[in-house]
């Protein structure tokens, strides 16, 4: 079993100067194979001998900003988040207005009360990176289990506003302006079998409980 992290950044793209298009704003982008930002070559999935536990997700936060009445060149920031580039810079919302969602196979994890899928957890609730200015109020509990043979994904939805050149304009996203983070533990081989057994027993799947089950098996064989 091994703990792994993955950081996605919309500014790290394989195509130099590639803008985030208007169709990508407001659409759920896969941080693994979405074709934007740093990606991997195939979707995240578990084999028949693997078990994955998603433990934490977070995305770039946003913040409400008081108008400062300034005009002119762009580049103003609020606590590290880009703000408006036009008239009355600094007003409205700073940041990408981003949400993060977990998808297992074709099913979104976070739903509205009527069981309709939504954009997921907002960056203001689970910010990345976390700092003195942006502290989390959301905790991914219980952990999300990805069973053997399932495909899973982390999707980011960002909405265009005055801090990204205005509505309907393709925007170049700089490194650090739109990021997503996921932490998960991958259980493989015998550990995956133990993880499935713990799930059947109604016991949380984590490294401590997996080790406890191993000790229990060894003690029972010794007796």
pLDDT for residue 96: 83
Site of tokens 């982390």: 154
pLDDT for residue 218: 87
pLDDT for residue 103: 95
Q: How far is residue 103's CA from residue 156's CA, in Å, rounded to a whole number?
A: 11
* Residue 44 burial (10 A CB sphere; 0-12, 13-18, 19+): buried
pLDDT for residue 15: 52
Closest-CA residue to 169 (of 77, 65, 63, 86): 86
* Residue 159 burial (10 A CB sphere; 0-12, 13-18, 19+): middle
pLDDT for residue 84: 58
Predicted TM-score (pTM) of this structure: 0.84
Q: Give the distance, in angstroms, between the CA of residue 143 and the centroid of all CA atoms in the same chain.
A: 14
pLDDT for residue 220: 82
pLDDT for residue 91: 53
Under-70 pLDDT residues of the chain = 13-24, 66-76, 83-92, 160-172, 222-223
DSSP 3-state assignment of 219? helix
pLDDT for residue 172: 66
pLDDT for residue 67: 56
């Amino acid at each position: 079993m091994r703990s792994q992290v993955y950081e996605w950044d919309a500014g790290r793209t394989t195509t130099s100067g590639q803008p985030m298009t208007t169709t990508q704003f407001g659409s759920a982008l896969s941080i693994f194979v979405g074709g934007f930002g740093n990606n991997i070559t195939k979707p995240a999935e578990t084999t028949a001998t693997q078990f994955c536990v998603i433990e934490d997700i977070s995305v770039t936060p946003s913040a409400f900003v008081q108008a400062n009445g300034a005009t002119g060149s762009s580049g103003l920031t609020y606590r590290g988040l880009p703000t408006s580039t036009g008239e009355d810079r600094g007003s409205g919302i700073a940041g990408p207005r981003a949400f993060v969602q977990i998808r297992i196979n074709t099913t979104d994890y976070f739903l509205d009360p009527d069981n309709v899928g939504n954009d997921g957890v907002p960056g203001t609730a689970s910010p990345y990176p976390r700092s003195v200015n942006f502290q989390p109020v959301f905790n991914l509990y219980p952990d999300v289990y990805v069973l053997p043979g399932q495909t899973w994904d982390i999707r980011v939805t960002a909405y265009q506003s005055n801090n990204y050149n205005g509505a309907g304009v393709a925007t170049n996203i700089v490194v650090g302006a739109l990021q997503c983070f996921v932490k998960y533990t991958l259980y493989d081989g015998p550990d995956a079998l133990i993880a499935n057994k713990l799930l059947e027993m109604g016991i949380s799947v984590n490294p401590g409980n997996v080790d406890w089950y191993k000790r229990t098996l060894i003690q029972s064989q010794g007796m």
